[in-house]
């Protein structure tokens, strides 16, 4: 994922990320521009999706959601899969959204989540986490199993209570736009993410949704700085990155970013 300027220029791919398999579920999260094409590029099958999740109503997070829903439901011929989205994405809120047509809401099981709400999908508890972002209904997502937790901040500014939203995460995935201490409204800088990593203490921390200044700078160095400061392995996501989460949970699963 990347910010608006990275989306326009495609300096980084903007297709979101996919989780394969978590409790047997294949989930595509925040499918921005290129999600369908990148799915095939990296050898994955969108027809096998179990669910699509969209955190908020900004284009770089939702633009390919409808086409992935079509793939998941066999061209809208079957009632299959699930869609989980913020209120702005699914229903619309003031000037934000809706982002998915009523037609595309007909076939999957649709759940609207606001911060603090949750949905059980099999053995997975998916909780919407609080954000401070331009879309006031934007949420992050926390995926909890009995022996593993993956937590995704989505787009949010750093705030003191953010650590509580992602407490217990084995793997922490966050949108990080700017290097160092550079500020941008509604987003985290690398140093702010480093603070969050230290507070949450995951086994692995991943910076994604990198902004142009971070992309054209040295994101790997920023990640290394966080690793050195916190003692927690931190990496900057790259196009096509695959993480085998088997190291963090007994059952094998993978996380693919594009």
CATH of the domain at 181: 3.60.15.10
164 domain-assigned: yes
Triad 196, 111, 81: Cα angle to 5°: 105
Count Cα neighbours of 135 within 13 Å in the Cβ-side half-sphere.
29
44 domain-assigned: yes
63 domain-assigned: yes
188 domain-assigned: yes
251 domain-assigned: no
- For residue 49, give both structure tokens: 């999706």
pTM over cut 0.75: yes
The domain of 32 spans 4-238
pLDDT value for 154: 98
CB 19 within 8 A of CB 253: yes
253 domain-assigned: no
User: What backbone torsions phi and psi does residue 76 show, to the nearest 5 degrees?
Assistant: 65, 35
Q: How many domains does the chain have?
A: 1
pLDDT value for 255: 82
Instruction: For the chain of 258 residues, list the mean pLDDT of each consecutive stretch of 10.
Output: 72 92 94 96 97 97 98 98 98 98 98 98 98 98 95 98 98 96 94 98 97 92 98 96 84 72
250 domain-assigned: no
pLDDT value for 11: 84
25 domain-assigned: yes
């Amino acid at each position: 994922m990347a910010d608006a300027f990275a989306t326009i220029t495609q300096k980084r791919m903007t297709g979101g990320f996919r989780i394969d398999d978590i409790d047997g579920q294949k989930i595509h999260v925040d499918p921005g521009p290129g999600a369908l094409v990148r799915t095939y590029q990296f050898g994955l099958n969108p027809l096998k999706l179990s669910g699509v999740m969209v955190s908020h109503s900004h284009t770089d997070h939702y633009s390919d959601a409808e086409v992935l829903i079509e793939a998941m439901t066999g061209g809208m011929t079957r009632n299959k899969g699930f869609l989980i989205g913020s209120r702005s994405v699914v229903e619309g809120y003031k000037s934000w959204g809706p982002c998915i047509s009523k037609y595309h809401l007909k076939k999957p099981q649709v759940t609207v989540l606001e911060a603090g709400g949750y949905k059980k999908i099999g053995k997975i508890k998916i909780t919407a986490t609080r954000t401070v972002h331009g879309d006031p209904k934007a949420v992050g997502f926390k995926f909890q199993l009995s022996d593993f937790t993956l937590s995704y901040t989505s787009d949010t500014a750093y705030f003191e209570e953010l650590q509580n939203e992602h407490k217990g995460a084995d793997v922490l995935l966050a949108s990080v736009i700017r290097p160092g201490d550079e500020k941008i409204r509604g987003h985290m800088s690398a140093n702010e993410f480093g603070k969050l990593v230290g507070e949450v203490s995951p086994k692995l921390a991943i910076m994604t949704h990198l902004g142009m200044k971070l992309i054209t700078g040295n994101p790997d160095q920023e990640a290394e700085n966080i690793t050195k400061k916190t003692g927690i392995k931190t990496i900057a996501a790259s196009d096509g990155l695959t993480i085998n989460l088997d190291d963090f949970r007994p059952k094998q699963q993978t996380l693919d970013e594009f």
